[in-house]
Structure 1
Amino acid sequence: MKKSSLLREKFIVLSCTVLMLFFGYQAEGQSAESLATATIAVGITETKDTQTPTGGDLAFGTIIPGSSTGTVTIVPSTAARIYSGSVQLVSSISGPATFTVSGTPNSSYSVTLPENDLITISNGSDTMEVNSFSISRSSGSSTLGSDGLASFRVGGKLEVDANQPPGNYTGTFAVTVAYQ
């Protein structure tokens, strides 16, 4: 019986060794490397071009209202001032708002004009509406140049009421640029 006990011990030791080798063995893995990359872009900004006759602002100029409503439109591509209805235009400084965009060269950008395409300008309690905002870009596209610069102009249409009270009417509007 000693022999069978010895065989049994050897079997147990051998079984444990096999189990340890089987479960305790770590297969040699394969590894590969990858490169992590990131590009940091220059933040996109816009500034009002104050070197223009209008100081970079959308200026409708001096207007004489009539006995019925009228409109004055500033065309951004040509800076033309066009009227319709019962208003008269007086020779004065007028023109589109002008902006310069700077950012990462050759990057695409978008321009967002006033929400709901409507703002109100006022002189105390008297108001007029500006709507139909439009844009004209220097390059015809929404891509920054190789120098990281672009410019655009914003025009719009002023609604003049019949017998609009005289005064200097002002208001602000937001124009937002962002990378696409």
Structure 2
Amino acid sequence: MALSPLDDHPVHQTAQVMRHVATSDRNFYDRYYFNCHAGTDELMLIVGLGQYPNLGVTDAFACVRHGDLHRVVRASRELGPDRMNTGIGPFRVEVVEGLKRLRVILEPNEHGLSFELDWEGTIPATLEPRHFLRWQERVMFDSVRLAQTGRWTGSITIGDQVIPVTPDRWLGTRDRSWGVRPVGEPEPPGIQANNSGTFYW
């Protein structure tokens, strides 16, 4: 076991260091999702950032649709010991005020999409019911999610165009979810081999 900066905070839930989650299931994840739009069809931005502690990976993406343009930026790295470090290449998510204000950043890069955006919730973050599903004795889903609507402030840069983002027009939703759900490559054949596949939404 190895310590990380998060271990100095009184947030432990198990007799483990914070970099180790309570399950060894490879599918444990911890993720952010955001969307941003002006209430019109002029632009839609989606951003996600996730950590997969038992796979040792963290990754992020941003996808924008602006007019006829569809642009995607992705980044991935080894997770390392510090789960509070959300920097992944040019991406970063900062919690300014828990459950209320966050900052989402994509620094300038070779893909022609960048932004610095501040999120402020307009309703309290709401915890959804726990999602639990067992398939042929194996736990496939055991996760929770919070959801929130809010407003954005900042700017989005696409190519040479800087788009001001002001809270009077720019809205969105976000969620945070964590737990166990199928991620990445499929499981090796075994007891799941009789699973013909199911779509979950």
When normalised by structure 2's length, the TM-score is 0.27
Give 1 or 2: higher helix fraction. Answer: 1
Give 1 or 2: higher strand fraction. Answer: 2
The structure showing larger relative contact order (alpha-carbon pairs under 8 Å, at least 6 residues apart) is: 1
